[in-house]
Amino acid sequence: MATYARPHAPTQPPQHPMPSRRVSVANQIKLLIAAAVLGGPRLKAFSIHDAAKHASIAIGQARYSTRFLVEAGLWDTIGNGVYAPSQAGRDFGTLWESSRERARAVLAGCFSTMWFMQTLQRELAAGPTPVEKVEAALLADGGGHQQHIKLLRSLIEWLTVAMLVEQQPDGMIAPGPLLTLEDGLAGPDEGRSNSVSMQEMIEDDEEEPQIAAQPRDLERTAMSPSEARSDSVMTYLAIEALQRLGPEQIPDFMKALAVLSQGNPESILHRC
């Protein structure tokens, strides 16, 4: 009589929540974007059904994603199947399409207090480490066992999105630019792939205009009546040019207008 292997006992969940292997990280990001839209600036509650419908993913996949998103501080649990985006969750969802580097920084901030951060800091302190060694350490610290290896791969993908780690082609895991190591230093520049460095992110922020100017800045930038009249005339001329000149004439006109805006007395427009 044929014998069959005894089925394994049901796999127990790991001690610490990990991202579901049943839904891709890309679809989980879609859920975060949907939650940001549904929650709005007031962080209103939404049902998981509405989020799944808005993100165009199956309700089953959406349900499998909630535990990790709540644990990461991206969502708050309101009731059975009802959630609300946290401020960080909404920031991530609204920034992902417009400023991906900032969205990654928000995500890294959420992950900074989670159980796996100490593991990453310990294992990657010396630099790039074999992925198997990192997975084994995460598995041990996360209270899981070998059946959870696929969950770990989803987790590493999330960590890559947050720029906390970088997966290298040779099978090594390197510290990412947003990972602060145990000595207080950020991850090394060595082994970076296509990630944006923290310095580049800071420079991008510096190039953006300030939201609120100081009073003396307002005084310095205020236009005098003559400057305001000049600006009005130039605006009128530009509008007229766009309506009356042919496409081939507009570049020369705009060059002349640029000279006029600098107050060059040699400009024909200035003399007019």
Count each helix (H run) and each strand (E run) in the chain, helices first: 13, 6
**Tokens 């003559």, located at residue:** 226
Tell which of 175, 195, 215 closes a domain.
Answer: 195
Is the pLDDT at 215 greater than 70, yes or no? no
pLDDT at residue 256 in the model: 64
- Based on the fold, state whether residues 86 and 120 are members of the same structural domain: no
Indicate the range of 138-147, 161-170, 232-241 predicted with least confidence. 232-241
In tens, the pLDDT along 75-90 reads 999 999 999 999 999 9
In tens, the pLDDT along 120-154 reads 999 999 999 999 999 999 988 887 656 667 778 89
Within a domain: 54: yes
Give pTM, 2 decimals. 0.63
Q: Can you tell me the distance from the alpha carbon of 36 to that of 98, in angstroms, rounded to the nearest whole number?
A: 14
Q: Can you tell me the distance from the alpha carbon of 115 to that of 120, in angstroms, rounded to the nearest whole number?
A: 10
Q: What is the CATH number of the domain that holds 67?
A: 1.10.10.10
**Ramachandran bin of 81, using left for φ above 0, alpha for ψ from -120 to 50, beta for the remaining angles:** left
- Based on the fold, state whether residues 172 and 156 are members of the same structural domain: yes
On whether the CB atoms of residues 62 and 31 are closer than 8 A, the answer is yes
Q: Can you tell me the distance from the alpha carbon of 193 to that of 244, in angstroms, rounded to the nearest whole number?
A: 51
Within a domain: 214: no
Q: Which of 90, 82, 95, 96 is nearest to 37 (CA)?
A: 90
**What domain range is 62 assigned to?**
25-109
Within a domain: 187: yes
In tens, the pLDDT along 45-76 reads 999 999 999 999 999 999 999 999 999 999 99
Which comes out higher in pLDDT, residue 215 or 147? Answer: 147
Number of domains in the chain: 3
Cα dihedral sign, 143-119-153-37: positive
